[in-house]
C-alpha cells in the first residue's frame, strides 16, 4: 500500500461541504439547483455528501449558478481535480460494500482512530485466523475466493499502523471484556488473537484497554460499538470534521455534526473512565490467552 495514498475520500467530502454552503448562501434549494443544472436531485445530494468525484467543469457550472467568487470557484475547481485520485482499496471494490469504501478512505486519512468495541476485535487488530473466522460467520454463503479477497483488504488496512509518511495514526481501543471471552472455534487461534492484542500495546501509536464487565454500564451502553475518526489540519483548508462511524449488515452511518460527535465523545469518556489501564489490560489479556490453551 503506498504510504501517502489517501485516495479521494477527504477531498470529495470537503468539496461537497463547500458547494453545499455556497448553495445555501445563495438561498437556492437542492431541487432548484438540480432543475437549473438539468441534473437529478439525488445527484446534488451525492455531490454535497462527498459520495462521488467531480469534474472541474461541473464545479464551475455550480459555482456560476450560486454566484460564487472567482477565487472560490478556482479553488473548488482545483479541489475537484483531487477527487479523481484513487486509493489502494478501490482495486478491491468487488470485495467491499460501497458504503465501506468511504470508511476505508477516511480511516487512511485520519490521524487518530478510536474504537469502542462491545462484541468483536476491531479489524485493524485482527489476526488473519480471527479475521477469517469473522468473515465466514458474517456471510457463510460467500465463495472461498471472495472470503479471501475480504481478508486481503482487512490485512492491507492494517499496514497504515506502521506507515511513516504521513505519520501513522494514533489508535486507541476500548474492548468490552465480552470481546475477550467470546471465542472462535480454534482455541489456539483465539489465544493467538489475544496475544496479538497484548503485543499491540508495545507499539508507540496503539493503546488497547479492557472494560471489565464487573464495572457495569457506561453512559449510553446501548449505543454499542462505534469508531471516532479525527483528522489533521491542512494548510489553506478547513479541517475535516471528526466523524463517528457505525455499521451493520446492510449499511453504515456517518455522523459529523458537532452535537452528534459530542454525544459519542461523552460515551467514549464514560467508558474510558471505567476501563483498566494499559498495563492492567495487557496483564488481563495475557491471562485470558493462557486459559484458551490449557
Name the domain count of the chain.
Answer: 2
Q: For the chain, give the mean pLDDT.
A: 89
Residues 16 and 107 in one domain: no
Residue 4 within any structural domain of the chain = no
Residues 225 and 113 in one domain: yes
**What global pTM score does this model have?**
0.79
Q: Which helix (H) or strand (E) holds 35?
A: helix 30-37
Burial class (CB within 10 angstroms; exposed 0-12, middle 13-18, buried 19+) of 141: exposed
Residue 280 within any structural domain of the chain = yes
Q: Answer whether residue 187 shows pLDDT above 90.
A: yes
pLDDT in tens, 237-281: 677 889 999 988 888 888 888 999 999 999 999 999 999 999 999
pLDDT in tens, 122-168: 999 999 999 999 999 988 998 999 999 999 999 999 999 999 888 99
Residues 111 and 158 in one domain: yes
Domain of residue 135 covers 89-292
Residue 3 within any structural domain of the chain = no
**Strand 112-117 with 170-176, pairing:** parallel
Report the pLDDT averaged over residues 23-31: 94
Judged by average pLDDT, the poorest of 22-31, 72-81, 137-146, 159-168 is: 72-81
Q: How confident is the model at residue 2 (pLDDT cuts 50, 70, 90)?
A: very low
Residues 54 and 121 in one domain: no
Residue 2 within any structural domain of the chain = no
Amino acid at each position: 500500500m503506498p504510504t501517502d495514498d489517501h485516495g479521494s475520500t477527504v477531498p470529495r467530502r470537503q468539496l461537497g461541504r463547500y458547494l453545499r454552503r455556497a448553495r445555501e448562501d445563495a438561498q437556492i434549494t437542492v431541487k432548484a439547483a438540480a432543475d437549473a443544472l438539468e441534473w437529478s436531485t439525488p445527484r446534488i445530494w451525492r455531490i454535497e455528501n462527498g459520495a462521488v468525484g467531480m469534474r472541474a467543469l461541473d464545479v464551475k457550472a455550480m459555482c456560476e449558478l450560486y454566484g460564487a467568487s472567482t477565487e472560490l470557484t478556482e479553488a473548488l475547481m482545483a479541489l475537484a481535480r483531487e477527487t479523481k485520485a484513487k486509493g489502494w482499496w478501490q482495486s478491491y471494490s468487488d470485495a467491499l460494500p460501497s458504503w465501506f469504501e468511504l470508511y476505508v478512505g477516511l480511516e487512511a486519512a485520519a490521524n487518530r482512530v478510536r474504537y469502542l468495541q462491545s462484541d468483536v476485535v476491531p479489524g485493524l487488530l485482527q489476526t488473519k485466523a480471527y479475521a477469517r473466522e469473522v468473515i465466514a460467520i458474517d456471510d457463510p454463503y460467500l465463495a472461498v475466493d471472495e472470503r479471501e479477497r475480504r481478508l486481503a483488504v482487512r490485512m492491507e488496512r492494517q499496514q497504515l499502523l506502521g506507515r511513516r509518511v504521513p505519520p501513522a495514526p494514533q489508535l486507541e481501543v476500548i474492548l468490552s471484556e465480552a470481546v475477550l471471552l467470546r471465542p472462535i472455534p480454534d482455541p489456539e487461534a483465539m489465544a493467538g488473537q489475544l496475544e496479538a492484542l497484548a503485543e499491540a500495546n508495545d507499539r508507540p501509536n496503539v493503546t488497547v484497554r479492557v472494560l471489565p464487565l464487573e464495572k457495569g454500564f457506561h453512559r449510553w451502553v446501548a449505543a454499542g460499538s462505534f469508531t471516532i475518526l479525527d483528522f489533521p489540519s491542512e494548510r489553506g483548508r478547513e479541517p475535516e470534521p471528526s466523524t463517528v462511524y457505525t455499521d451493520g449488515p446492510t449499511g453504515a452511518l456517518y455522523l459529523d455534526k458537532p452535537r452528534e460527535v459530542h454525544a459519542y465523545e461523552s460515551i467514549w469518556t464514560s467508558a474510558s473512565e471505567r476501563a483498566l489501564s494499559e498495563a492492567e489490560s495487557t496483564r488481563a489479556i495475557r491471562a485470558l490467552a493462557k486459559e484458551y490453551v490449557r
